[in-house]
Structure 1
Amino acid sequence: MSYIEKNIKDLREEINETCRKIGRNPEEIQLIAVTKTVDPERINEAIHAGVEHIGENKVQEIMEKYDVVSNVHWHMIGHLQTNKVKYIIDKVKLIHSLDRISLAEEINKRAKKHNKIMDVLVQVNVANEETKFGLASNEVLEFFEKIQIFEHIRVRGLMTIAPYEENPENVRKYFKKLKEIFETIKIKGFPRVDMKYLSMGMTNDFKVAIEEGSNMIRVGTGIFGRRNYNKL
Protein backbone atom coordinates (compact mmCIF):
# COMPACT_ATOMS: atom_id res chain seq x y z
CA MET A 1 0.00 0.00 0.00
CA SER A 2 1.42 3.38 -1.00
CA TYR A 3 1.53 6.32 1.39
CA ILE A 4 -1.30 8.00 -0.54
CA GLU A 5 -3.53 4.94 -0.22
CA LYS A 6 -2.68 4.65 3.47
CA ASN A 7 -3.38 8.34 4.08
CA ILE A 8 -6.76 8.07 2.38
CA LYS A 9 -7.61 4.94 4.37
CA ASP A 10 -6.60 6.63 7.64
CA LEU A 11 -8.53 9.76 6.70
CA ARG A 12 -11.69 7.77 5.98
CA GLU A 13 -11.34 6.08 9.36
CA GLU A 14 -10.99 9.44 11.10
CA ILE A 15 -14.09 10.73 9.32
CA ASN A 16 -16.00 7.59 10.30
CA GLU A 17 -14.92 7.86 13.92
CA THR A 18 -15.77 11.56 14.14
CA CYS A 19 -19.21 10.92 12.68
CA ARG A 20 -19.80 7.96 14.98
CA LYS A 21 -19.13 10.12 18.04
CA ILE A 22 -21.73 12.71 17.06
CA GLY A 23 -24.28 10.42 15.44
CA ARG A 24 -23.78 11.47 11.84
CA ASN A 25 -23.64 9.27 8.76
CA PRO A 26 -20.08 9.38 7.34
CA GLU A 27 -21.53 8.94 3.85
CA GLU A 28 -22.85 12.50 4.20
CA ILE A 29 -19.29 13.84 4.17
CA GLN A 30 -17.90 14.59 0.72
CA LEU A 31 -14.12 14.50 0.56
CA ILE A 32 -12.39 16.91 -1.80
CA ALA A 33 -8.74 15.96 -2.35
CA VAL A 34 -6.82 19.21 -2.77
CA THR A 35 -4.34 18.68 -5.59
CA LYS A 36 -2.47 21.99 -5.71
CA THR A 37 1.08 21.29 -7.03
CA VAL A 38 0.35 17.54 -7.11
CA ASP A 39 1.40 15.78 -10.31
CA PRO A 40 -1.15 13.79 -12.35
CA GLU A 41 0.44 10.45 -11.49
CA ARG A 42 -0.21 10.92 -7.77
CA ILE A 43 -3.67 12.36 -8.41
CA ASN A 44 -4.56 9.27 -10.43
CA GLU A 45 -3.22 7.13 -7.60
CA ALA A 46 -5.59 8.88 -5.19
CA ILE A 47 -8.48 8.34 -7.62
CA HIS A 48 -7.57 4.65 -7.82
CA ALA A 49 -7.73 4.61 -4.00
CA GLY A 50 -11.30 5.89 -4.05
CA VAL A 51 -11.13 9.68 -4.36
CA GLU A 52 -14.02 10.94 -6.50
CA HIS A 53 -13.61 14.71 -6.15
CA ILE A 54 -10.50 16.86 -6.50
CA GLY A 55 -10.06 20.55 -5.84
CA GLU A 56 -7.66 22.92 -7.57
CA ASN A 57 -6.74 26.44 -6.45
CA LYS A 58 -5.53 27.67 -9.82
CA VAL A 59 -7.16 27.66 -13.24
CA GLN A 60 -3.80 26.99 -14.87
CA GLU A 61 -3.39 23.72 -12.98
CA ILE A 62 -6.85 22.56 -14.02
CA MET A 63 -5.97 23.28 -17.64
CA GLU A 64 -2.66 21.42 -17.40
CA LYS A 65 -4.04 18.34 -15.68
CA TYR A 66 -7.55 18.03 -17.08
CA ASP A 67 -6.76 15.75 -20.02
CA VAL A 68 -4.43 13.46 -18.10
CA VAL A 69 -6.55 12.99 -14.98
CA SER A 70 -9.79 11.12 -15.57
CA ASN A 71 -12.83 9.63 -13.85
CA VAL A 72 -13.10 12.38 -11.27
CA HIS A 73 -15.16 15.48 -10.51
CA TRP A 74 -13.24 18.77 -10.59
CA HIS A 75 -13.80 21.60 -8.12
CA MET A 76 -12.46 25.14 -8.37
CA ILE A 77 -11.69 25.96 -4.74
CA GLY A 78 -9.34 28.94 -5.07
CA HIS A 79 -9.90 32.62 -5.79
CA LEU A 80 -11.27 32.91 -9.32
CA GLN A 81 -10.47 35.86 -11.56
CA THR A 82 -13.29 36.91 -13.88
CA ASN A 83 -11.09 36.71 -16.99
CA LYS A 84 -10.39 33.01 -16.33
CA VAL A 85 -13.93 31.75 -15.87
CA LYS A 86 -14.19 30.90 -19.57
CA TYR A 87 -11.40 28.32 -19.26
CA ILE A 88 -13.06 26.19 -16.59
CA ILE A 89 -16.80 26.74 -16.98
CA ASP A 90 -17.17 23.47 -18.93
CA LYS A 91 -14.74 21.51 -16.76
CA VAL A 92 -15.65 21.92 -13.10
CA LYS A 93 -18.56 20.44 -11.18
CA LEU A 94 -18.59 23.15 -8.53
CA ILE A 95 -17.04 26.60 -8.03
CA HIS A 96 -16.42 27.12 -4.30
CA SER A 97 -15.33 30.74 -4.37
CA LEU A 98 -18.11 33.05 -5.55
CA ASP A 99 -17.54 36.24 -3.57
CA ARG A 100 -18.52 39.23 -5.73
CA ILE A 101 -21.16 40.36 -8.20
CA SER A 102 -18.70 40.85 -11.08
CA LEU A 103 -17.71 37.19 -10.81
CA ALA A 104 -21.36 36.10 -10.70
CA GLU A 105 -22.02 38.09 -13.87
CA GLU A 106 -19.15 36.40 -15.68
CA ILE A 107 -20.05 32.90 -14.50
CA ASN A 108 -23.65 33.48 -15.56
CA LYS A 109 -22.57 34.75 -18.98
CA ARG A 110 -20.21 31.85 -19.65
CA ALA A 111 -22.65 29.24 -18.34
CA LYS A 112 -25.36 30.63 -20.61
CA LYS A 113 -23.05 30.22 -23.62
CA HIS A 114 -22.62 26.56 -22.68
CA ASN A 115 -26.35 26.17 -22.04
CA LYS A 116 -25.77 24.98 -18.48
CA ILE A 117 -26.54 25.88 -14.91
CA MET A 118 -23.30 26.38 -12.97
CA ASP A 119 -23.30 25.17 -9.39
CA VAL A 120 -21.44 27.45 -6.99
CA LEU A 121 -20.75 28.00 -3.32
CA VAL A 122 -20.62 31.47 -1.82
CA GLN A 123 -17.33 32.06 -0.01
CA VAL A 124 -17.60 33.73 3.39
CA ASN A 125 -14.63 35.19 5.26
CA VAL A 126 -16.10 34.45 8.67
CA ALA A 127 -12.93 35.41 10.55
CA ASN A 128 -12.53 38.69 8.61
CA GLU A 129 -8.92 37.89 7.75
CA GLU A 130 -7.34 40.53 5.55
CA THR A 131 -5.32 37.92 3.68
CA LYS A 132 -8.37 35.88 2.66
CA PHE A 133 -11.11 36.41 0.11
CA GLY A 134 -14.82 36.08 0.76
CA LEU A 135 -17.80 38.08 1.92
CA ALA A 136 -18.05 39.39 5.45
CA SER A 137 -20.71 37.59 7.47
CA ASN A 138 -22.99 40.62 7.47
CA GLU A 139 -22.83 40.89 3.67
CA VAL A 140 -24.09 37.40 2.84
CA LEU A 141 -27.84 37.94 2.93
CA GLU A 142 -27.71 41.04 0.72
CA PHE A 143 -25.42 39.21 -1.70
CA PHE A 144 -27.94 36.38 -2.07
CA GLU A 145 -30.65 38.92 -2.80
CA LYS A 146 -28.54 40.55 -5.52
CA ILE A 147 -27.57 37.36 -7.36
CA GLN A 148 -31.18 36.26 -7.89
CA ILE A 149 -31.06 37.85 -11.35
CA PHE A 150 -28.55 35.29 -12.64
CA GLU A 151 -30.54 32.45 -14.21
CA HIS A 152 -27.53 30.28 -15.05
CA ILE A 153 -26.15 30.11 -11.52
CA ARG A 154 -27.39 27.79 -8.80
CA VAL A 155 -26.03 28.33 -5.29
CA ARG A 156 -25.52 25.01 -3.52
CA GLY A 157 -24.17 26.29 -0.21
CA LEU A 158 -21.38 28.14 1.55
CA MET A 159 -17.62 27.79 1.89
CA THR A 160 -15.08 29.23 4.29
CA ILE A 161 -11.37 28.91 5.01
CA ALA A 162 -10.75 29.14 8.73
CA PRO A 163 -7.56 30.68 10.14
CA TYR A 164 -4.80 28.16 10.72
CA GLU A 165 -4.49 27.30 14.39
CA GLU A 166 -2.33 24.65 16.03
CA ASN A 167 -5.33 23.88 18.22
CA PRO A 168 -8.36 23.39 15.94
CA GLU A 169 -10.69 24.10 18.86
CA ASN A 170 -9.78 27.75 18.37
CA VAL A 171 -11.60 27.85 15.03
CA ARG A 172 -14.76 26.08 16.16
CA LYS A 173 -16.52 29.44 16.59
CA TYR A 174 -16.03 30.26 12.89
CA PHE A 175 -17.51 26.96 11.75
CA LYS A 176 -20.42 27.44 14.13
CA LYS A 177 -21.03 30.92 12.72
CA LEU A 178 -21.04 29.70 9.11
CA LYS A 179 -23.53 26.97 10.01
CA GLU A 180 -25.81 29.65 11.47
CA ILE A 181 -25.58 31.69 8.25
CA PHE A 182 -26.20 28.53 6.21
CA GLU A 183 -29.41 27.78 8.12
CA THR A 184 -30.59 31.40 7.84
CA ILE A 185 -30.20 31.36 4.05
CA LYS A 186 -31.87 27.97 3.85
CA ILE A 187 -34.98 29.27 5.61
CA LYS A 188 -35.24 32.24 3.24
CA GLY A 189 -36.07 29.93 0.34
CA PHE A 190 -34.44 31.98 -2.41
CA PRO A 191 -35.12 30.78 -5.99
CA ARG A 192 -32.17 29.08 -7.70
CA VAL A 193 -30.68 28.35 -4.29
CA ASP A 194 -30.38 24.78 -3.04
CA MET A 195 -28.46 24.88 0.23
CA LYS A 196 -26.92 21.42 0.23
CA TYR A 197 -23.21 21.89 0.93
CA LEU A 198 -21.35 23.42 3.83
CA SER A 199 -17.73 23.35 2.68
CA MET A 200 -15.49 23.88 5.68
CA GLY A 201 -12.62 22.03 7.25
CA MET A 202 -9.15 21.16 6.00
CA THR A 203 -6.37 18.80 7.07
CA ASN A 204 -5.81 20.43 10.44
CA ASP A 205 -9.39 21.13 11.48
CA PHE A 206 -11.80 18.91 9.53
CA LYS A 207 -12.91 16.96 12.62
CA VAL A 208 -14.10 20.13 14.35
CA ALA A 209 -15.72 21.27 11.09
CA ILE A 210 -17.65 17.99 10.80
CA GLU A 211 -18.76 18.32 14.42
CA GLU A 212 -20.14 21.78 13.56
CA GLY A 213 -22.06 20.62 10.49
CA SER A 214 -19.64 20.48 7.56
CA ASN A 215 -20.52 17.96 4.88
CA MET A 216 -17.69 18.83 2.49
CA ILE A 217 -14.06 18.87 3.59
CA ARG A 218 -11.00 19.89 1.56
CA VAL A 219 -7.90 17.85 2.40
CA GLY A 220 -4.54 18.15 0.65
CA THR A 221 -1.64 17.70 3.09
CA GLY A 222 -3.48 14.89 4.85
CA ILE A 223 -3.49 12.90 1.60
CA PHE A 224 -0.42 13.97 -0.39
CA GLY A 225 1.88 15.20 2.38
CA ARG A 226 3.44 18.63 2.77
CA ARG A 227 4.21 20.48 -0.43
CA ASN A 228 6.75 23.14 -1.29
CA TYR A 229 4.77 26.16 -2.47
CA ASN A 230 7.90 28.28 -2.83
CA LYS A 231 8.62 26.69 -6.19
CA LEU A 232 5.36 27.95 -7.66
Structure 2
Amino acid sequence: MNPRLASLLAKIDEYPDVTIVAVSKEVGVQEIRLAYDCGFRHFGENRMQDALAKQDALDLHVSWHFVGRLQTNKVRSAAGRFALYHSLSSLHLAEEMNRIALRTGSCFPCLVQVNASLEQTKQGLALGEVADFLALVSRLPGVRVLGLMTMGPHTEDRLAIRRVFRQVRALYEELRRMPSGEACMQHLSMGMSADYELALDEGATMLRIGSAIFSNLRDNGGRHDGK
Protein backbone atom coordinates (compact mmCIF):
# COMPACT_ATOMS: atom_id res chain seq x y z
CA MET A 1 0.00 0.00 0.00
CA ASN A 2 1.19 3.51 -0.74
CA PRO A 3 2.77 4.80 2.51
CA ARG A 4 0.91 8.12 2.50
CA LEU A 5 -2.45 6.48 2.00
CA ALA A 6 -1.61 3.85 4.59
CA SER A 7 -0.77 6.59 7.08
CA LEU A 8 -4.04 8.41 6.37
CA LEU A 9 -6.14 5.28 6.79
CA ALA A 10 -4.31 4.26 9.96
CA LYS A 11 -4.99 7.68 11.47
CA ILE A 12 -8.66 7.62 10.50
CA ASP A 13 -9.09 4.11 11.88
CA GLU A 14 -8.51 5.63 15.32
CA TYR A 15 -11.84 7.46 14.86
CA PRO A 16 -14.44 4.79 13.97
CA ASP A 17 -17.37 7.22 13.96
CA VAL A 18 -15.84 9.56 11.37
CA THR A 19 -17.15 9.48 7.79
CA ILE A 20 -14.71 9.97 4.92
CA VAL A 21 -16.03 11.78 1.87
CA ALA A 22 -13.66 10.95 -0.99
CA VAL A 23 -13.69 14.18 -3.01
CA SER A 24 -13.72 12.91 -6.57
CA LYS A 25 -14.11 16.23 -8.39
CA GLU A 26 -10.77 15.91 -10.20
CA VAL A 27 -11.04 12.26 -11.21
CA GLY A 28 -13.10 10.13 -13.54
CA VAL A 29 -15.36 7.14 -13.10
CA GLN A 30 -12.48 4.66 -13.31
CA GLU A 31 -10.78 6.20 -10.28
CA ILE A 32 -14.09 6.30 -8.39
CA ARG A 33 -14.57 2.59 -9.07
CA LEU A 34 -11.07 1.94 -7.77
CA ALA A 35 -11.84 3.89 -4.60
CA TYR A 36 -15.09 1.96 -4.23
CA ASP A 37 -13.18 -1.31 -4.52
CA CYS A 38 -10.97 -0.09 -1.67
CA GLY A 39 -14.01 0.42 0.55
CA PHE A 40 -14.94 4.09 0.13
CA ARG A 41 -18.69 4.69 0.01
CA HIS A 42 -19.09 8.49 0.16
CA PHE A 43 -18.01 10.67 -2.77
CA GLY A 44 -17.97 14.45 -3.11
CA GLU A 45 -18.37 16.61 -6.21
CA ASN A 46 -18.38 20.37 -6.68
CA ARG A 47 -19.63 20.82 -10.26
CA MET A 48 -23.21 19.85 -10.94
CA GLN A 49 -22.83 18.75 -14.56
CA ASP A 50 -19.85 16.52 -13.77
CA ALA A 51 -21.53 15.13 -10.66
CA LEU A 52 -24.70 14.09 -12.45
CA ALA A 53 -22.73 12.57 -15.32
CA LYS A 54 -20.68 10.45 -12.92
CA GLN A 55 -23.78 9.37 -11.03
CA ASP A 56 -25.42 8.27 -14.26
CA ALA A 57 -22.29 6.43 -15.43
CA LEU A 58 -21.80 4.47 -12.22
CA ASP A 59 -24.04 1.70 -10.90
CA LEU A 60 -22.51 1.76 -7.43
CA HIS A 61 -24.43 1.88 -4.17
CA VAL A 62 -22.78 4.99 -2.72
CA SER A 63 -23.72 8.30 -1.12
CA TRP A 64 -23.03 11.41 -3.18
CA HIS A 65 -22.20 14.72 -1.51
CA PHE A 66 -22.25 18.14 -3.17
CA VAL A 67 -19.27 19.95 -1.66
CA GLY A 68 -19.18 23.02 -3.91
CA ARG A 69 -21.18 26.20 -4.03
CA LEU A 70 -24.64 25.34 -5.33
CA GLN A 71 -26.00 28.00 -7.68
CA THR A 72 -29.70 28.75 -7.53
CA ASN A 73 -30.16 27.89 -11.21
CA LYS A 74 -28.83 24.38 -10.51
CA VAL A 75 -31.13 23.60 -7.59
CA ARG A 76 -33.79 21.87 -9.67
CA SER A 77 -31.30 19.47 -11.28
CA ALA A 78 -29.76 18.78 -7.85
CA ALA A 79 -33.03 17.81 -6.17
CA GLY A 80 -32.94 14.29 -4.82
CA ARG A 81 -29.49 13.54 -6.24
CA PHE A 82 -27.28 14.05 -3.17
CA ALA A 83 -27.21 12.71 0.37
CA LEU A 84 -25.85 16.00 1.69
CA TYR A 85 -25.18 19.55 0.47
CA HIS A 86 -22.15 20.91 2.32
CA SER A 87 -22.17 24.66 1.71
CA LEU A 88 -25.44 26.38 2.59
CA SER A 89 -24.87 29.97 3.71
CA SER A 90 -27.43 31.98 1.75
CA LEU A 91 -31.07 32.48 2.68
CA HIS A 92 -31.85 33.09 -0.98
CA LEU A 93 -30.45 29.66 -1.85
CA ALA A 94 -32.32 28.04 1.04
CA GLU A 95 -35.58 29.59 -0.16
CA GLU A 96 -35.00 28.29 -3.68
CA MET A 97 -34.22 24.84 -2.30
CA ASN A 98 -37.46 24.96 -0.35
CA ARG A 99 -39.45 26.04 -3.40
CA ILE A 100 -38.09 23.18 -5.50
CA ALA A 101 -38.45 20.69 -2.65
CA LEU A 102 -42.13 21.50 -2.22
CA ARG A 103 -42.73 21.15 -5.95
CA THR A 104 -40.88 17.86 -6.32
CA GLY A 105 -41.69 16.23 -3.00
CA SER A 106 -38.02 16.09 -2.10
CA CYS A 107 -35.90 17.51 0.70
CA PHE A 108 -32.48 19.15 0.78
CA PRO A 109 -30.31 17.88 3.67
CA CYS A 110 -27.67 20.54 4.23
CA LEU A 111 -24.68 21.60 6.24
CA VAL A 112 -24.32 25.30 6.99
CA GLN A 113 -20.95 26.65 5.88
CA VAL A 114 -19.10 28.63 8.54
CA ASN A 115 -16.30 31.05 7.65
CA ALA A 116 -14.79 31.38 11.11
CA SER A 117 -11.60 33.02 9.83
CA LEU A 118 -13.61 35.61 7.84
CA GLU A 119 -11.47 35.09 4.74
CA GLN A 120 -12.71 37.16 1.82
CA THR A 121 -11.98 34.34 -0.63
CA LYS A 122 -14.36 31.93 1.11
CA GLN A 123 -18.10 31.67 1.35
CA GLY A 124 -19.81 31.11 4.66
CA LEU A 125 -21.31 32.74 7.71
CA ALA A 126 -19.41 34.29 10.57
CA LEU A 127 -19.65 32.40 13.83
CA GLY A 128 -22.06 34.94 15.29
CA GLU A 129 -24.43 34.76 12.30
CA VAL A 130 -25.14 31.04 12.36
CA ALA A 131 -27.81 30.85 15.07
CA ASP A 132 -29.99 33.54 13.47
CA PHE A 133 -29.56 31.90 10.06
CA LEU A 134 -30.69 28.56 11.47
CA ALA A 135 -33.79 30.19 12.94
CA LEU A 136 -34.74 31.51 9.50
CA VAL A 137 -34.04 28.27 7.65
CA SER A 138 -36.02 26.27 10.22
CA ARG A 139 -39.16 27.86 8.75
CA LEU A 140 -38.49 26.17 5.39
CA PRO A 141 -39.87 22.61 5.45
CA GLY A 142 -37.97 21.54 2.34
CA VAL A 143 -34.55 22.29 3.85
CA ARG A 144 -33.12 20.25 6.69
CA VAL A 145 -29.93 21.42 8.39
CA LEU A 146 -27.92 18.48 9.69
CA GLY A 147 -24.75 20.17 10.85
CA LEU A 148 -21.92 22.53 10.04
CA MET A 149 -19.09 22.64 7.51
CA THR A 150 -15.95 24.71 7.60
CA MET A 151 -12.58 24.95 5.87
CA GLY A 152 -9.34 25.66 7.63
CA PRO A 153 -7.70 29.01 6.82
CA HIS A 154 -5.26 29.15 3.92
CA THR A 155 -2.09 29.33 5.98
CA GLU A 156 0.89 27.26 7.04
CA ASP A 157 0.18 28.22 10.66
CA ARG A 158 -1.10 24.99 12.18
CA LEU A 159 -2.12 26.76 15.36
CA ALA A 160 -4.35 29.12 13.37
CA ILE A 161 -5.98 26.19 11.60
CA ARG A 162 -6.51 24.37 14.87
CA ARG A 163 -8.03 27.49 16.42
CA VAL A 164 -10.63 27.75 13.64
CA PHE A 165 -11.56 24.09 13.95
CA ARG A 166 -11.87 24.45 17.71
CA GLN A 167 -14.12 27.51 17.38
CA VAL A 168 -16.45 25.77 14.95
CA ARG A 169 -16.56 22.65 17.12
CA ALA A 170 -17.55 24.82 20.10
CA LEU A 171 -20.35 26.37 18.04
CA TYR A 172 -21.45 22.92 16.89
CA GLU A 173 -21.71 21.72 20.48
CA GLU A 174 -23.62 24.85 21.47
CA LEU A 175 -26.09 24.34 18.64
CA ARG A 176 -26.59 20.71 19.58
CA ARG A 177 -28.13 21.97 22.81
CA MET A 178 -30.65 24.13 20.95
CA PRO A 179 -34.26 23.04 20.40
CA SER A 180 -34.25 20.34 17.73
CA GLY A 181 -36.80 22.22 15.64
CA GLU A 182 -34.16 24.65 14.39
CA ALA A 183 -31.43 22.19 13.43
CA CYS A 184 -30.35 18.63 14.01
CA MET A 185 -26.60 18.71 14.55
CA GLN A 186 -25.46 15.31 13.29
CA HIS A 187 -22.39 16.20 11.24
CA LEU A 188 -19.36 18.43 11.66
CA SER A 189 -17.61 18.44 8.30
CA MET A 190 -14.10 19.88 8.51
CA GLY A 191 -10.67 18.76 7.46
CA MET A 192 -9.20 18.11 4.01
CA SER A 193 -6.05 16.45 2.71
CA ALA A 194 -3.68 19.00 4.24
CA ASP A 195 -5.28 19.40 7.66
CA TYR A 196 -7.45 16.37 8.39
CA GLU A 197 -5.33 15.33 11.37
CA LEU A 198 -6.02 18.65 13.09
CA ALA A 199 -9.72 18.34 12.27
CA LEU A 200 -9.86 14.87 13.78
CA ASP A 201 -8.18 16.10 16.93
CA GLU A 202 -10.74 18.92 17.20
CA GLY A 203 -13.83 16.75 16.83
CA ALA A 204 -14.71 16.47 13.14
CA THR A 205 -17.27 13.79 12.34
CA MET A 206 -16.78 14.03 8.58
CA LEU A 207 -13.67 14.60 6.45
CA ARG A 208 -13.53 15.77 2.82
CA ILE A 209 -10.38 14.24 1.37
CA GLY A 210 -9.42 14.30 -2.29
CA SER A 211 -5.77 14.29 -3.31
CA ALA A 212 -4.56 12.33 -0.29
CA ILE A 213 -6.78 9.48 -1.48
CA PHE A 214 -6.81 9.64 -5.26
CA SER A 215 -3.19 10.63 -5.90
CA ASN A 216 -2.10 7.55 -3.95
CA LEU A 217 -4.88 5.13 -4.75
CA ARG A 218 -3.30 3.33 -7.70
CA ASP A 219 -0.56 2.03 -5.43
CA ASN A 220 -3.05 0.73 -2.88
CA GLY A 221 -3.40 -3.01 -2.73
CA GLY A 222 -5.73 -3.19 0.24
CA ARG A 223 -9.22 -2.37 1.29
CA HIS A 224 -10.61 0.04 3.80
CA ASP A 225 -13.96 0.61 5.45
CA GLY A 226 -14.82 4.06 4.07
CA LYS A 227 -17.82 4.33 6.45
TM-score by length of 2: 0.89
2:98 matched to 1:92?
no
CA–CA distance in structure 2, aligned partners of residues 158 and 178 of structure 1: 8
| Deviates most, 43-52 or 105-114 | 105-114
Deviations 1:134-158 (CA, angstroms, capped at 9, x unpaired): 1111111110111121012111100
Contact 1:151 1:192 in 2 (8 A): no
1:113 aligned residue: 103
State the shift of 1:167 in Å: 4.8
Contact 2:64 2:84 in 1 (8 A): yes
| Deviates most, 41-50 or 217-226 | 217-226
Deviations 1:45-65 (CA, angstroms, capped at 9, x unpaired): 101111110011111211221
CA–CA distance in structure 1, aligned partners of residues 4 and 50 of structure 2: 23
State the shift of 1:9 in Å: 4.4
1:23 aligned residue: none
2:178 matched to 1:181?
no
Can you give the 5+ residue segments of structure 2 that lack an aligned partner in the other structure? 217-227
Mapping of residues 60-209 of structure 1, within 5 Å: 60-69=49-58, 70-191=60-181, 193-209=183-199
State the shift of 1:168 in Å: 3.2
Deviations 1:36-86 (CA, angstroms, capped at 9, x unpaired): 121110011101111110011111211221111222110001111111011
CA–CA distance in structure 1, aligned partners of residues 134 and 184 of structure 2: 12
2:12 aligned residue: 15
Contact 1:32 1:217 in 2 (8 A): yes
CA–CA distance in structure 1, aligned partners of residues 173 and 18 of structure 2: 18
CA–CA distance in structure 2, aligned partners of residues 196 and 98 of structure 1: 15
2:46 aligned residue: 57
State the shift of 1:164 in Å: 2.9
CA–CA distance in structure 1, aligned partners of residues 107 and 128 of structure 2: 27
CA–CA distance in structure 2, aligned partners of residues 33 and 168 of structure 1: 23
Aligned-partner SS, 2:57: coil
Contact 2:89 2:124 in 1 (8 A): yes
Q: 1:7 to 1:60 in 2, by over 3 A?
A: farther
TM-score by length of 1: 0.87
2:210 matched to 1:220?
yes
State the shift of 1:8 in Å: 4.9
CA–CA distance in structure 1, aligned partners of residues 64 and 111 of structure 2: 14
Q: 1:51 to 1:43 in 2, by over 3 A?
A: same
Contact 2:152 2:191 in 1 (8 A): yes
Supply the AA of the counterpart residue of 2:10.
Answer: E
Can you give the 5+ residue segments of structure 1 that lack an aligned partner in the other structure? 20-25, 227-232
Higher helix share: 1
Count of residues paired in the alignment: 215
Deviations 1:81-113 (CA, angstroms, capped at 9, x unpaired): 111011111210000111011110111122222
